[in-house]
Structure 1
């Protein structure tokens, strides 16, 4: 039961990240289409697109961190025994957990700062803090998924979803 809940949580985070990819693509498509066909620019299009891209980046970090599908260098890892590969994986994941946790803390400070300073978009004067908050939630999700990955690497490595193994099956 516990494993199924974690897997559903992981899948939900990945679907949310995928939804933001679609939202950013839609925003870019509509903005370019209106600009090139009707010579019309959506108010705050640049600011909204920029903030959506930031949201996408942080949710993308969450989606790739658990699966280990981000960019890796396997020069040493590929040339050592499986036992040492696991140690390297645990160490690398712990470093990633530390870095993303610090990043999440500093991003929360940015959310609080934009809220307290009442930072708004140029055209429509929309508050920007909700965009930062959604990005921060993505970063919190990354911390949770990296913590789950660390737990599984240490205590239940058989529950890991290894894309390298799936590619060779």
Structure 2
């Protein structure tokens, strides 16, 4: 225990979470859950194959379908928080007003791209259902997995729209829940 434990200023009270903040947090938990599912599928598949020479029926199909779902729900989580890969060469040297304009422009472009992607993915869900695409071993329909991925993309569009709104009208509320304080 350090001697300065009692010398830290009290933490600022956090603003109560509204429905949108809880929605955003829920999406992050869903993405985290699919990370766990993908990891568990891979880990269990490897253990069963290595020690027992047995495979999970449709283990490969489940792995790739869960990974697809994870990607789209991950897009939703990272797009809102702005934690995706960025190139900040100009942003770093810009003044605060220019930084905000760059952020709004980049978020609007992201909103356009993800919106088009969402429309195209919906077409893929419909086509997969119409073609009755099934998994290899258990012959399960794959369209519900595609639909779950599409819902992640819809969530991404909603969150990017919320991020755009907050960047324009309430920039102090963007990323406030995940602002990192230096730890001594």
TM-score by length of 2: 0.87
**Aligned: 1:144 with 2:144:** no
User: 2:57 matched to 1:30?
Assistant: no
Q: 1:27 to 1:164 in 2, by over 3 A?
A: closer
Offset at 1:123? 1.2
Report the alpha carbon displacement of residue 168 of structure 1 after superposing the two structures with TM: 5.3
Q: Which one has the largest radius of gyration?
A: 2
Aligned residue for 1:76, secondary structure, equals helix
The alignment of Structure 1 onto Structure 2 pairs a total of residues equal to 169
Runs of 4+ more than 3 Å apart: 162-165
Structure 1 residues not aligned, in runs of 5+? none
Matches within 5 A, 1:1-169: 4-161=18-175, 166=180
The 1:103–1:2 alpha-carbon spacing in structure 2 relative to 1, beyond 3 Å, is: farther
**CA distance in structure 2 between the partners assigned to 1:2 and 1:97 by the alignment:** 27
Question: 2:61 is paired with a residue of what secondary structure?
Answer: helix
Measure the CA separation in 2 of the matches of 1:87 and 1:168. 27
| RMSD (CA atoms) | 1.9
**Structure with greater helix percent:** 1
Distance of 1:53 and 1:46 partners within structure 2 = 11
Instruction: Tell me, in whole angstroms, the C-alpha distance in 2 between the residues paired with 1:164 and 1:14.
Output: 12
Alpha-carbon separation, structure 1, partners of 2:57 and 2:179? 47
